[in-house]
Amino acid sequence: MSSGNGATPDLTGPPLSQRRLCFVLGKGGVGKSTVAAAMGLAAARAGRRSLVIEVGGQDRLSRLFRGAHVGHEEATELAPGLFGISVDVEQAIEEYLTGQLRLRPLVELLTRSRAFHTFAEAAPGLPELVTVGKVWTYAVALHEDRRPVWDALVVDCPATGHGIALLETAGNVEAIAGGGPIRDQAARIHDVVVHPAATGVAIVARPEELAVSEAIEATAALRERGMPVAAAVLNGMRAERFRDDEAPALAAVAAAADGPSSRAAEAALRRLDDQRSDQAYRRRLAEGTRLPVLELPQLVRRRFDLDAVRVLAASLTDAVSPNGRP
């Protein structure tokens, strides 16, 4: 695991790869879904039965794992040992009610009433609560012999603000609901969400100004709320391909007559600049979050597909276990 140059990670609890439940959070467009899929795949390859949970009907898993249909009802196997499921809010509300009221006719009475729909639509935090509640049911699911059904769970959260709302909702409901089964349920969910050993939040960023600033702000906001932030993931890092002492020769060739060779040398010089700036962002992320930073390489391809997820999963495995141990 690589930590920041000079920045000591401020971490309580085990490293991310040892926590069972991982929430993947970050600014829109940083590649959260891909990172979540890669984390799930890395865990599956290490022999852990893994579930990637999609929230908010993004349908990205189905697109990444072409041919797979990730539904709401049952987990779909995406790769050996790797499963995916998508949480549907409406359905989660019904399931939740069934669990609470136990009697199917009562649930139907409630869900058919317009009053209930008005309530459910606008009740502060209800969609978030049932969503995180659904995640919780997967996290605590046990086989008959008391073994957990899932060894690793990865939640692909919505973008930063909504993602934080998702994580804090159970705690909020616990605070405002006063009493009753909803409060008790919320308290049980919240205990799992903030569990410092079982749960970890991973903040994803790209080596870019706005994404890194947002990751640093989000980490502070999550810590303030007592959430177990466990790692920062820097996605799209341009690895070191050129050395500084190679710049003079490249510059000389770049300055020569225009042609493919001089353009290649120019491209190399741009890449050298990009490498440096990516490293600077890595340091800023490490110092600003005081988290271990897992690096994922930039993959340049015309279409982003399953093969790309495999490459990222392999680099995650390398990042968390330099000696090759899972």
Partner 1 sequence: MVVCCGAGGVGKTTVSAGVGLGLARGGARVVVVTIDPAKRLATALGMEGLADEARPVPGSGGPGGGELWALQLDPKATFDRLVDREAPTPEARERILENRIYRHLSGAVAAQDYMAIERLHELVDEGRWDVIVLDTPPSQNALDFLDSPARITRFIEGRSLRLLLRPPVPGAGFGRRVIAVGSSTVFGLLERLTGAQLLRDLSDFLGAFDGMYDGFAARAKAINALLRSDEAGFVVVAAPDTDAVGQAVALGRRLAHDGYPLSGLVLNRVHLLPPGGLARPEELAPALATAGAARPDSLAGRAAATLEEEQLLGLRDLDAREALSGALDGAPITEVPALEREPVELEVLAEIAAALGAPAPARPAAAGP
314 sits near partner 1 (criterion: CB under 8 A)? no
CB of 156 to partner 1, least distance (A): 12
Number of neighbouring beta carbons within 10 Å of residue 124: 11
Q: Name residues contacting partner 1, limited to 232-251 (CB under 8 A).
A: 241-242, 245-246, 248-250
Contact 135, 154 (CB under 8 A): no
Q: How far is the CB of 295 from partner 1 (least distance, A)?
A: 18
Per-residue contact flags (x/-) with partner 1 for residues 254 to 293, judged by CB under 8 A: --x--xxx-xxx-xx-xx----------------------
Q: How many CB atoms lie within 10 A of CB 67?
A: 7
Is 56 or 81 the residue whose CB approaches partner 1 more closely? 56
- Residue from the set 118, 141, 226, 280 that interacts with partner 1 by CB under 8 A: 118
Choosing from 3, 172, 279, 321, the residue that interacts with partner 1 (CB under 8 A) is 172
The smaller minimum CB distance to partner 1, of residues 181 and 226, is found at 181
Q: Which of 77, 91, 106, 280 binds partner 1 (CB under 8 A)?
A: 106
The residue among 142 and 210 lying less far from partner 1, judged by its C-beta, is 210
Edge-to-edge strand list for the sheet holding 199-205 = 76-79, 82-87, 50-55, 152-156, 21-26, 199-205, 229-237, 293-297
Interface residue with partner 1, options 14, 47, 71, 161 (CB under 8 A):
161
- Rounded Cα gap, residues 60 and 41, in angstroms: 15
Tell whether residue 29 is a contact of partner 1 (CB under 8 A): yes
Among 56, 81, 84, 288, binds partner 1 (CB under 8 A): 56
97 forms part of the interface with partner 1 (CB under 8 A): yes
Q: Cβ of residue 160: shortest distance to partner 1, in angstroms?
A: 6
Asked whether 255 and 185 are in contact (CB, 8 A), the reply is no
Q: Tell me how many degrees the CA angle 41-279-29 measures, rounded to the nearest 5.
A: 50
Phi, then psi, of 117 in degrees rounded to 5: -65, -40
Q: Which helix H or strand E contains 86, and what residues bound it?
A: strand 82-87
Q: Is residue 14 near partner 1 by the rule CB under 8 A?
A: no
Closer to partner 1 by Cβ: residue 49 or 271: 271
| Residue among 52 and 198 whose Cβ is closer to partner 1 | 52
Q: What's the sign of the alpha-carbon dihedral 122, 220, 212, 239? A: negative
Q: Is 187 in the site for partner 1 (CB under 8 A)?
A: no
CA-to-CA distance for 51 and 161, rounded, in angstroms?
24
Please give the Cα distance from 201 to 215 (Å, whole number): 12
